[in-house]
Amino acid sequence: MTRKHRRVVSRREFLETTAAATAAVTLPNTRGPALVGKARKIRVGVIGCGGRGTGAMHDCLTSSEDVELVALGDLFPDRLAKCRENLATMVTEEANSALKPKIKVNDRNCFTGFDAYQKVIASKVDLVVLATPPAFRATHFAAAVAAGKHVFMEKPVAVDPSGVRSVLATADLAAQKGLAVVAGTQRRHDPGYRAAMERIHGGDIGDIVGGQVYWNQGGLWMHPRLPEWSDVEWQIRNWLYFTWLSGDHIVEQHIHNIDVANWALGAHPVKAVGVGGRQWRTDPAYGHVYDHFAVDFQYPNGAHVLSMCRQIDGTASHVGERFVGTRGTSDGRSVIEGAAPWQRDPQAPKVNPYVQEHADLIASIRAGTPLNEGRQVAETTLSAIMGREAAYTGQVIVWDELLASQQELVPPDLNFGPMPVAPVAMPGSTGVVRTWRGA
Amino acid sequence: MSALLFAACPAAVVGQSAAHFLPYRDSIPGTLVSFEMIPVPGGTVTLDTPQGPRTVSVGPFWIGKTEVTWDEYDIWAFRLDLAGRVPTDSIDAVSRPSRPYGAPDRGFGHQGYPAIGMTYFAAQTYCAWLSAKTGKRYRLATDVEWSRAVQAGLGADTGWTPERRDALAWHAGNAGNQSHPVAAKPPDALGVHDLLGNVAEWVTGGVGSADGRPVVRGGSWADPADQVGPRARAAQTPAWNLTDPQFPKSRWWLADAPFVGFRIVLLPQ
């Protein structure tokens, strides 16, 4: 029932693109960079060298043999320098000593500035890791695939429908070119989630009729503005708090749980109604994002999934998922209750999904059967954006209309300089159609 | 039994008026949160060490009646004692934890549940903060003190039968794969709860670890029953923080150790 709706996509032009790309995927791949020989080293470049980017370097290098880190790029020289210091520290740790010969980073292959991504991609790299704030993902992904690079990209992969359209097109192009694309929705590579999903898709809880997904927690880090920072620099350094940079926390963080819902249901939502607001984190230091959302997502089979996310200090935390089927319930990762009960062995060996996602990516490149999660993560990203827009606008958001909408939040040519902060979204008056020009 | 132990250890209160060595309740100033401390008489304990059994003497001290709860830990960890909504994130950043990415209580429960998943450094820093707040020198127990508390409260190892274990301690066989509210199990003879099981507890200067590094004691809800007991001792491994996706990994939070907590002690002045 859910399977046939798996590709409920959009408008005519997208159906056409999809059809062409699907045809291309099914053709045997006889050329291109997917044919990296088993013996050949995979050379990795990383764009976005913050804590997650540096963590991804560790995970990628740890995951596989014959992988080398050969290029780094970051907007900010201080962040890149800090990353290099951290890499030096990393290899002094006993558990990471084997990584030392894999790190071939020097002054010549480290790049900063808004065009650093182009220089990393132009380096002799096979695989590019995209770990900047989400605003830049669609552009970087397009450039990497155009240059024939395999890609690992952090979630979310866009902040607006315009970015999602770009990522969908690039994902299809990557498929045509035989390039691997893996996304940082690491639950898809977690043995617990995979085991539960296999059972759910096998019918162990029956047809899914509803569910709940949550990411409720306290606030996150914030860097108080320094006098020497321009508007743009201040916003990018505090990217969590600006919708054009992060997508807001429902997109940046809660996307993980929405992705699990899409995975369980084998579809993306078709409709969303939601509420949300900015009740606690009201200081201008926190930009204009909301601090809580609650969204009702409707899926093609009629199932409703409640999504709830919050970033407010001193409140109850909860991160997780739950699915209700006609024969039972599941948390999607460790337990099924009902007609076909199951519990994952708590003593089962631990696999680090953040490493596994890189292992799966690199193994797929070497096997000549490149994984391509681009479309999947783009659809999950738009699902989360749908929730955001339902709350921001107060309107019923329909998938096809949102995907086709003219919402473009990221200025095309960024430079350090003035940039006003867009107003906090107001349900009833904020519309889906918005651009950076109106900020 | 409690009285017997006190009577058996008159040296315990040397330099301290016996009348003042009593249980007491302390509170975190500016909050409604309080916690109880239980006196542990001094004595000698025999410890397993890499060089064989070693007998050491330990003076009297107070120990937390329970593991430190989220009610207490939140005030420090989430800066609830600082001015509300102003952006203070960089102020005091050295001595307050980074913001956890996710639910630090793992959904087990919060109010009345033991705080979990903190590094040894975080547990120590909490004690330093609590000391500054209260004017008393709270700190983590040493490995020896912790052993003494178990011995004084539970008696010799030989008394640690499966029946007593199930009655007093949460372990993998009875905990349902999660931590439980503190003091849900009955107290020991001193009036202390959950020394064994529920969450394993950070102590300083692990006598049983080869290099004297901190260890956790007592076993936890995640350990099989036979690994929860007076001798249970574990040092941190990379698996305790495997899935922190950042580098450097957090110095405050352990992404994969929801079975680790701590309790505090105070020495008589």
Q: How many CB atoms lie within 10 A of CB B176?
A: 11
Least confident of B66-70, B82-86, B103-107, B141-145: B82-86
How far apart are alpha carbons B135 and B269 in whole angstroms? 12
| Facing A313 at nearest CB: one of B78, B86, B249 | B78
Minimum distance, in Å, between the CA of residue B244 and any CA atom of chain A: 8
How far apart are alpha carbons B38 and B22 in whole angstroms? 7
How far apart are alpha carbons A53 and B247 in whole angstroms? 8
pLDDT tens readout for residues A418-436: 999 999 999 999 999 999 8
What is this structure's pTM?
Answer: 0.89
8 A C-beta contact, residue B120 and residue B73 = no
How far apart are alpha carbons B56 and B46 in whole angstroms? 6
Sign of CA dihedral A199, A204, A205, A208: positive
Per CB-CB distance under 8 Å, the chain B contacts of A95 are 238
Confidence check: pLDDT of A26 > 70: no
In this prediction, residue B114 carries a pLDDT of 98
Which residue has better confidence, B88 or B146?
Answer: B146
Is the link from the previous residue into A224 a cis peptide, with omega within 30 of 0?
no
| Facing A222 at nearest CB: one of B89, B107, B256 | B89
DSSP A100: G
- Average of per-residue pLDDT across A164-180: 98
Helical H segments across A37-152, by residue range: 51-63, 77-90, 116-122, 137-146
How far apart are alpha carbons B259 and A296 in whole angstroms? 34
| Facing A320 at nearest CB: one of B79, B101, B107 | B107
The answer to whether the Cβ–Cβ distance between B102 and A317 falls below 8 Å is: yes
Which residue has better confidence, B9 or B211?
Answer: B211
Confidence check: pLDDT of A11 > 60: no
In this prediction, residue B87 carries a pLDDT of 52
Per CB-CB distance under 8 Å, the chain A contacts of B86 are 283
* pLDDT-above-70 percentage for chain A: 91
Size of interface A-B (CB pairs under 8 A): 86
Q: How are beta strands B61-64 and B34-40 bridged, if at all?
A: antiparallel
Per CB-CB distance under 8 Å, the chain B contacts of A216 are 103
Q: How are beta strands A150-153 and A181-183 bridged, if at all?
A: parallel
pLDDT tens readout for residues A310-358: 999 888 999 999 999 999 999 999 999 999 999 999 888 889 999 999 9
Q: What mean pLDDT value characterizes chain A?
A: 92
| Facing A90 at nearest CB: one of B79, B242, B247 | B247
How far apart are alpha carbons A375 and A379 in whole angstroms? 6
Task: Quote ipTM for the complex.
Answer: 0.83
How far apart are alpha carbons B254 and B242 in whole angstroms? 8
- Name every residue whose Cβ is closer than 8 Å to that of residue A156 and which is 6 or more positions away in sequence: A134, A137, A247, A251, A252, A255, A377, A380, A381, A384
The answer to whether the Cβ–Cβ distance between A352 and B242 falls below 8 Å is: yes
Is the link from the previous residue into B53 a cis peptide, with omega within 30 of 0?
no
How far apart are alpha carbons A155 and A406 in whole angstroms? 22
Confidence check: pLDDT of A15 > 60: no
The answer to whether the Cβ–Cβ distance between A55 and B244 falls below 8 Å is: yes
Nearest to B198 by CA among B214, B231, B175, B216: B175
